[in-house]
Amino acid sequence: MADKYYTASAAETEKVGAEFAARLAPGDFVALYGELGAGKTAFVRGMARVLAPGAAVSSPTYALVNVYEGEKCELCHFDMYRIHNEDDLYSIGFWDYDGCVFAVEWAENVPFALPDRYYAVAIAKTGEDGREITIEERGN
């Protein structure tokens, strides 16, 4: 069963991300879906407020991964926009990350890398600043 949230600003999207992050544990995988500018990074910024307070979250578009240190675990924030196969994942060291909370933007590009159990977070624009956020646990 999916949970739905409606937000009217980036700050509200961050708040939903923070509330969601409170239920996460090391090793959890969050697959983020949404068009360019939908608010995926804003959602992760909210997650970081809980998991890695004080982290300066930015889109990992060019770095491909940003790691934010938290007290209990790391938040590993990936951008898969330019990743299309397992060789690409291997080249960025994706398989070497362990024990962090994974936040993976553009997860639709790497369906083969999704674990058996993960959270799917779909963010859709409902207006200039409005968003519909659907969070669903998938798998075992």
The yes-or-no verdict on residue 77 having pLDDT over 90 is yes
Structural tokens at position 32: 């983020």
Give 103-133 pLDDT, tens digit per residue. 999 999 999 999 999 999 999 999 889 999 9
Domains and CATH numbers, the chain: 3-138 (3.40.50.300)
pLDDT confidence of residue 62: 59
**What number is the average pLDDT over the span 58-87?**
85
pLDDT band per the 50, 70, 90 thresholds, residue 57: confident
CA angle at 129 for the pair 123 and 131, rounded to the nearest 5°: 25
Q: Residue 35, SS3? A: coil
Average pLDDT, the chain: 92
Residue 103 CA to residue 40 CA, distance in Å, equals 9
Structural tokens at position 20: 């969601």
pLDDT confidence of residue 70: 87
Give buried/exposed letters for 81-117 (b at 16+ CB in 10 A, else e).
eebeeeebbeebebeeeeebbbbbbbbebbeebbeee
The yes-or-no verdict on residue 56 having pLDDT over 70 is yes
pLDDT confidence of residue 31: 97
Enumerate residues 6+ apart whose C-beta is below 8 A from 111: none
pLDDT confidence of residue 63: 65
